[in-house]
Structure 1
């Protein structure tokens, strides 16, 4: 029976699994925690009522923007993981596998799955537990992991002349923005900026 780490390293070798798994995880978590429908429109319920009662930070975009951005980012990051996985078997000298590229790819895939785990934790922290501060800390850690992943992916040989790191830069930018939003929700509603 294959180990968990082997499954996590091997699933991105298939482009459909590489893109589909993060989309499935993100969609399932969002739906389970806050009732987001596949089209991004929210169901009515306690999470919606609570969220709508919060004072939003400046620069918040519409729920629809989030509904389109996250699937696109998950798909891009998933395809980036597919490109990383292609480096698991890059030929080295005398037809053997390049051990340096393989080790870097394994490190990058480990960071990728840590990022998926941290990203998955955000919805339960923010909507389930209603803890914007913890959600912001989660996203801050996620930003660090995606930053390290981007650097690690950039050091890999390009596949099909595509720098793998390009697929993680938008993800890093959006997560950094989301960190600001989560911290802003905490500040405006629970922290020193709490409305009277």
Structure 2
């Protein structure tokens, strides 16, 4: 295999690895046991078994978008910006799970989900010049908005 082909595959491996690591760490801190079940949750919350497939699709599309943005970056500085932006987003994604489930602080998670949504909106905006990336990231943006509404309904039941 040529060095050029190996370099070309590196972004795919990195994006897949970060997506997998984010999913595994997020899953490890997610406890839907007695504490979570005792929360007053809205009637419109989807069944718990749907969250895994939804996040799997979102992580896959986000990793794909990251690779497309990396490939479209005109220079090393732009590629570093792609790494920074998608890396920050992965950190915020994981932080929400740690805050909500690990620390059991839905109120703090409600503040953090705004930052997460803004980071996804930033990714959507920064990728608009890369064909197809906006469409790949749109489910993530909508899902985080939905998760934020669900988080708010838990923090402010009956509001």
Shift of residue 150 of structure 1? 0.5
Name the structure 2 match of 1:93: none
Q: For 1:89-110, what per-residue CA distance to the aligned partner results, in whole angstroms no more than 9, with x for missing partners?
A: xxxxxxxxx45xx655543432
Q: Alpha carbons of 1:166 and 1:74: their partners in 2 closer, same or farther (altered >3 Å)? A: same
Indicate which of 17, 25, 29 corresponds to 1:28.
25
1:165-180 equivalences in 2 (<5 Å): 165-180=134-149
2:99 aligned residue (82, 103, 125): 125
**Structure 1: gaps of 5 or more residues:** 1-9, 36-46, 89-97
Q: For 1:73 and 1:12, how far apart are their aligned partners in 2?
A: 21
Q: TM-score, normalised by structure 2?
A: 0.84
How many positions carry a matched residue from both structures? Answer: 153
SS of residue in 1 equivalent to 2:124: helix
Q: CA deviation at 1:17?
A: 2.9
- What's the TM-score, normalizing by structure 1? 0.69
| Aligned residue number for residue 3 of structure 2 | none
Output the CA distance in 2 between the equivalents of 1:135 and 1:167.
Answer: 25
Gaps of 5+ in 2: 1-6
Alignment of 1:39-58 (within 5 A): 48-58=33-43
Deviation per CA, 1:11-33: give whole Å up to 9, x if none: 984323312321222222322x1
Structure with higher RCO (Cα < 8 A, 6+ apart): 2
User: How much is the aligned-residue C-alpha RMSD, in angstroms?
Assistant: 2.4
Maintained 8 Å contact 1:150/1:169: yes
C-alpha contact (below 8 Å) 1:19/1:76 kept by paired residues: no
Q: Name the counterpart of 2:122.
A: 148
Structure 2 CA distance, aligned partners of 1:119 and 1:11?
A: 27
Encode CA deviations 1:38-84: one digit per residue, 9 max, x unaligned: xxxxxxxxx51011111112421011110111111111101111111
